[in-house]
């Protein structure tokens, strides 16, 4: 018998990479290049030979990522940099192993040895005829080169599995190997780098550079910057896709970037448009997909099901729910997808599917399977969100689902999933899962308010309200309308919020749901307060309290007292406000409502400040901060810091007040709450003024004005103008101060804020006195006095009389000035400020201004 050895196949071309060779365009990969260069840096003593060390001695770098992400470009670019630095005098050799070439068999190691030996300097006549002999000689040559200090770098491109590369890896520490692959290779000693898509800026830079490489004067990047960003997003920031659209634009100079983006906007046809000039995104994805389907069909089946998730990422548990499989099984299949670079694993332990991969994979999902997967996904989200919401609304002693260990774990789950959940509500509404829409929206309400995700809240509530309108059950419409009103109020759409709450009240009353009606009255009162309809707001909160007491809803009653105290304070019924806030604290403690107790302490601090019980106000605000921190309510904490800053200012602790206001600003910025930030800047300006940091105070007030203008909050803007005028006066910019106070007065008149208008008149009068315009100052203080009398504000009246006396003194009307100060003393006495009253009594008694 004659045995013939199997043909090793044709030799494979090995390309030497020498300094000076063009590396091609690489952008947005600076960090990855630095990582690879660090791994390729020669060892301290590259001449050391360790023939017994085995493959683990050599540094192997494996660059993994989906097809078209730029692995080869990164590897070649880095290898050329290393060659240029003289790190590999024995040669830098690039070998395409064709692991993912459609229609071509992957390269085997026995096909490579002859070409490698020739590039390593072995004459053709010395190269043996059999692969086994070639392999032996190959490794001996590498050993000899290591001994001579002639380090070699092998760039093994497009390796599909470890068998293609393991026999090619050098055995000496001096040498290096750099591998690119779409799969997770079974090379335990390899240092892996997973390549992600480019950033938006990086992808845009790549597109622009490609266009300018063909035509340096191409005007499109400069004239259509927004379209450039949109186009690279449609490309999923995948370098291959960006290169394809760049080629299209280059070959069609009359085609605008906007027009091409419009052509690719349709998700159904986008992949068809990303095939041009030999590049084809769909073909690249298709090869990886079919290759995995051949040996792991259950993983590719899961991949198709994952496309029903409307959010940006998902957890292993969510994937298991979509496929209706155990979590452990889902984890195994997800890892297989990641190993094939068809799925990304985020640093936070979640899974992401690239947009273009999702478009391709969705083609393989049957409509019936998609419907079942969507139903399972939405049911999972509803159940999990409801369990998490239990912890946000639950009180001590109430039964709570044990899916989460506690409130913090529930909040953490919401924090991770809220983008997915918001998208799921919209997806459920659009696909006709209306019951899931309303259920999921109801479970999200407290969390979205808690974390102040206002845009998401309005989106969710709007979908739920629209879905509920199709149900025959009127109670669903009432719940959805009430929740929509809350979201609208949070986004300062007050008139719409009032309408929504009034609609909810009417429905609840018709169906006899007094508990729901009480909640809706409470919410209506809050919206009415925002448009300064305080008398109506007080009536609404009183109605809410009456209903809550009637049905035995102690928590609802506590909330009614909280809101009533706030409204009473706004109409200067301070003693009643203090009493209401204390009632609220007692009830919230009784039922264990810690967040409600935090709200009540916040309101009590404000009311105590108004009756000049400042030390108690400071204590109340500190109590509120502690509670809000305990329950994780960052917005509530920000508000409490703002209030504490105001109270600290009243007890002359101005440095501490500045610190408190800066804490509030940091929290509001973290939350993206522009209105709260504006309020905090306003208060910071006052505190800075008190510590005589006037230039900083001016800057803070201007920040507040800009934010309030941006939001269209005229009331807040008026307050900020008033504070700015005070700060400008202190830096002796009197004309600007006068203008600022005039602005403030005009705005407060427009919005009907008589108290704010009075303050503006008072401050305007002081600024006018500074420039000796005493007659105008007298008029300003008289206007302030009239408003304070109208409002019954005796303390403000005392200030107005005092300042009027000062203006009268300026025009030497001394008797009238002394009389005004006597009136001021009486007003301060009535308001409880005995110190000011005593001083003015003495001056009045001496008859000297």
Q: What is the DSSP track for 488-543? A: HHHTT-HHHHHHHHHHHHHHHHHHT-HHHHHHHHHHHHHHHHHTT-HHHHHHHHHH
Q: How far apart are CA 822 and CA 843, in angstroms?
A: 8
CB count within 10 Å of CB 329 equals 14
Q: Is 25 left (phi over 0), alpha (psi -120 to 50) or beta?
A: beta
> At 44, is the pLDDT very low, low, confident or very high (cuts 50, 70, 90)?
low
CB atoms within 10 A of CB 142: 24
| Model confidence band, residue 711 (pLDDT cutoffs 50, 70, 90) | confident
Q: How confident is the model at residue 478, as a pLDDT?
A: 93
Q: Is residue 710 helix, strand or coil?
A: helix
Is the pLDDT reported for residue 395 higher than 80?
no
Residues 322, 306: contact at Cβ < 8 Å?
Answer: yes
Return the structure tokens found at 539: 């009536």
| pLDDT tens profile 101-140 | 777 788 898 999 999 999 999 998 999 989 999 999 999 9
Between 407 and 338, the higher pLDDT residue: 338
- For a pLDDT cut of 90, what percent of the chain falls above it? 56
Round to whole Å and give the CA distance between 218 and 616: 69
What pLDDT band is residue 846 in, cutting at 50, 70 and 90?
low
Cα gap 465→478, rounded to integer Å:
9
Residue with tokens 């934010």: 707
Residue-averaged pLDDT of the chain? 88
pLDDT at 808: 92
Contact 653, 637 (CB under 8 A): no
Helix H or strand E encompassing 656: helix 654-671
1-10, 70-79, 219-228, 657-666: least confidently modelled range: 1-10
- 145 vs 8, which has greater pLDDT? 145
Residues facing residue 156 across a β-bridge: 95, 179
Average pLDDT, integer, range 331-359: 90
Tell whether the model's pLDDT for residue 401 goes beyond 50.
yes
CATH class in words for 472-552:
mainly alpha
Q: Is the pLDDT of residue 758 over 50?
A: yes
- Residue 530 has a pLDDT of 86
Q: What is the mean pLDDT of residues 299-324?
A: 95
Q: Which one of 297-306, 527-536, 790-799 scores highest in mean pLDDT?
A: 297-306
Q: Is 14-44+52-194 in CATH node 3.40.50.300?
A: yes
Please give the average per-residue pLDDT across 314-325, as a whole number. 96
pLDDT at 3: 35
Query: What pLDDT band is residue 322 in, cutting at 50, 70 and 90?
Result: very high
Write the DSSP symbol of residue 693: -
What gap in Å lies between CA 730 and CA 723, rounded to an integer?
11
| pLDDT confidence tier of residue 715, bands split at 50, 70 and 90 | confident
- Between 49 and 195, the higher pLDDT residue: 195
The closest of 487, 476, 555 to 519, measured between CA atoms, is 555
CB distance 568 to 576 below 8 Å: yes
The tens digit of pLDDT for each residue in 465-516 reads 999 999 888 988 999 999 999 999 988 789 999 999 999 999 999 999 999 9
Report in angstroms the alpha-carbon separations of 277 from 70, 81, 221, 235, 691. 17, 29, 22, 16, 69
Q: What is the per-residue pLDDT across 240-297, written as a single tens digit (0 to 9) for each? A: 999 999 999 999 999 999 999 999 998 888 988 888 888 888 888 888 889 889 889 9
CB within 8 Å of 87: residues ≥ 6 apart: 40, 41, 42, 151, 153
Which are the contacts of 98, defined by CB distance < 8 A and separation ≥ 6? 104, 105, 106, 107, 158
Please give the pLDDT value at position 673: 78
Per-residue CA distances from 566 to 198, 543, 601, 610 (Å): 51, 15, 11, 12
282-365 CATH: 1.10.10.10
- What's the pLDDT score for residue 77? 94
For a pLDDT cut of 70, what percent of the chain falls above it? 95
């Amino acid at each position: 018998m004659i045995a013939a050895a199997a043909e090793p196949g044709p030799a494979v071309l090995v390309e030497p990479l020498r300094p000076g060779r063009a590396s091609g365009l690489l952008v947005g990969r600076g960090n990855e290049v630095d990582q690879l260069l660090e791994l390729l840096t020669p060892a301290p003593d590259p001449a050391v030979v360790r023939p017994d060390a085995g493959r683990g001695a050599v540094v192997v770098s494996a660059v993994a990522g989906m097809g078209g992400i730029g692995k080869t470009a990164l590897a070649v670019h880095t290898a050329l940099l290393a060659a240029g630095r003289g790190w590999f005098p024995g040669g830098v050799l690039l070998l395409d192993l064709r692991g993912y070439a459609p229609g071509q068999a992957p390269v085997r190691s026995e096909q490579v040895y002859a070409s490698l030996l020739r590039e390593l300097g072995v004459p053709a006549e010395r190269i043996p005829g059999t692969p086994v002999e070639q392999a032996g000689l190959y490794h001996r040559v590498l050993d000899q080169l290591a001994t001579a200090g002639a380090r070699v770098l092998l760039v093994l491109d497009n390796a599909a599995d470890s068998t293609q590369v393991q026999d090619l890896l050098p055995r000496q520490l001096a040498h290096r190997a750099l591998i690119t692959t779409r799969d997770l290779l079974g090379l335990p000693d390899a240092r892996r780098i997973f390549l992600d898509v480019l950033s938006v800026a990086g992808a845009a830079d790549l597109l622009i550079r490609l266009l300018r490489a063909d035509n340096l004067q191409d005007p499109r990047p400069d004239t259509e910057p927004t379209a450039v960003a949109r186009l690279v997003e449609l490309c999923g920031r995948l370098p291959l896709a960006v290169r394809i659209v760049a080629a299209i634009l280059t070959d069609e100079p009359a085609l605008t970037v906007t027009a091409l983006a419009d052509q690719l906007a349709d998700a159904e046809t986008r992949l068809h448009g990303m095939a041009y000039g030999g590049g084809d995104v769909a073909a690249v994805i298709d090869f990886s997909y079919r290759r995995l389907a051949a040996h792991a069909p259950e993983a590719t089946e899961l991949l198709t099901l994952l496309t029903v998730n409307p959010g940006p990422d998902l957890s292993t548990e969510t994937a298991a729910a979509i496929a209706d499989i155990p979590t452990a099984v889902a984890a195994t299949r997800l890892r297989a997808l990641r190993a094939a670079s068809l799925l990304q694993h985020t640093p936070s332990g979640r899974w992401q599917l690239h947009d273009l991969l999702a478009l391709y994979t969705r083609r393989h999902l049957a409509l019936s399977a998609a419907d079942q997967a969507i139903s399972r996904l939405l049911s999972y989200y509803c159940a999990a969100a409801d369990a998490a919401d239990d912890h946000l609304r639950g009180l001590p002693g109430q039964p709570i689902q044990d899916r989460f260990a506690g409130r913090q774990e529930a909040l953490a789950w919401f924090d991770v999933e809220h983008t997915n959940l918001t998208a799921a509500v919209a997806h459920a509404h659009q696909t006709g899962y209306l019951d899931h829409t309303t259920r999921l929206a109801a479970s999200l309400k407290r969390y979205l308010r808690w974390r102040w995700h206002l845009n998401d809240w309005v989106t969710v509530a709007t979908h739920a309200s629209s879905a509920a309108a199709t149900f025959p059950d009127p109670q669903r419409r009432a719940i959805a309308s009430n929740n929509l009103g809350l979201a609208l109020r949070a986004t300062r759409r007050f008139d719409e919020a009032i309408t929504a709450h009034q609609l909810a009240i009417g429905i609840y009353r018709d169906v006899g749901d007094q508990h729901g009606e009480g909640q809706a009255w409470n919410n209506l009162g809050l919206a009415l307060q925002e448009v300064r309809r305080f008398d109506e707001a007080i009536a609404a909160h009183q109605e809410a309290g009456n209903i809550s007491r009637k049905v035995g809803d102690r928590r609802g009653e506590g909330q009614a007292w909280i809101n009533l105290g706030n409204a009473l304070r706004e109409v200067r019924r301070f003693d009643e406000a203090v009493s209401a806030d204390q009632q609220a604290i007692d009830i919230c403690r009784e039922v264990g409502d810690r967040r409600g107790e935090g709200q009540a302490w916040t309101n009590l601090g404000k009311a105590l400040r108004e009756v000049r019980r400042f030390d108690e106000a400071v204590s109340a605000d500190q109590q509120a901060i502690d509670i809000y921190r305990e329950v994780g309510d960052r917005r509530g904490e920000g508000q409490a810091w703002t209030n504490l800053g105001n109270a600290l200012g009243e007890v002359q602790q101005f440095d501490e007040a500045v610190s408190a206001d800066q804490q509030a600003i940091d929290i509001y910025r973290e939350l993206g709450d522009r209105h709260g930030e504006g309020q905090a800047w306003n208060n910071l300006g006052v505190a800075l003024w008190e510590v005589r940091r006037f230039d900083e105070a001016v800057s803070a007030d201007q920040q507040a004005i800009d934010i309030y203008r941006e939001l269209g909050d005229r009331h807040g803007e008026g307050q900020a103008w008033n504070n700015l005028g005070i700060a400008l006066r202190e830096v002796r910019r009197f004309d600007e101060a006068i203008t600022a106070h005039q602005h403030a007065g005009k705005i407060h008149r427009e919005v009907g804020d008589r108290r704010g208008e009075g303050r503006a008149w008072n401050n305007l009068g002081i600024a006018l006195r500074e420039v000796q315009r005493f007659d105008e100052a007298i008029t300003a203080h008289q206007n302030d006095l009239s408003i304070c009398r109208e409002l019954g504000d005796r303390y403000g009246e005392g200030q107005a009389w005092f300042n009027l006396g000062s203006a009268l003194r300026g025009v030497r009307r001394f008797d009238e000035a002394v009389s005004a100060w006597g009136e001021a003393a009486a007003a301060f006495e009535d308001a409880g400020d005995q110190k000011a009253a005593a001083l003015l009594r003495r001056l009045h008694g001496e008859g000297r201004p």
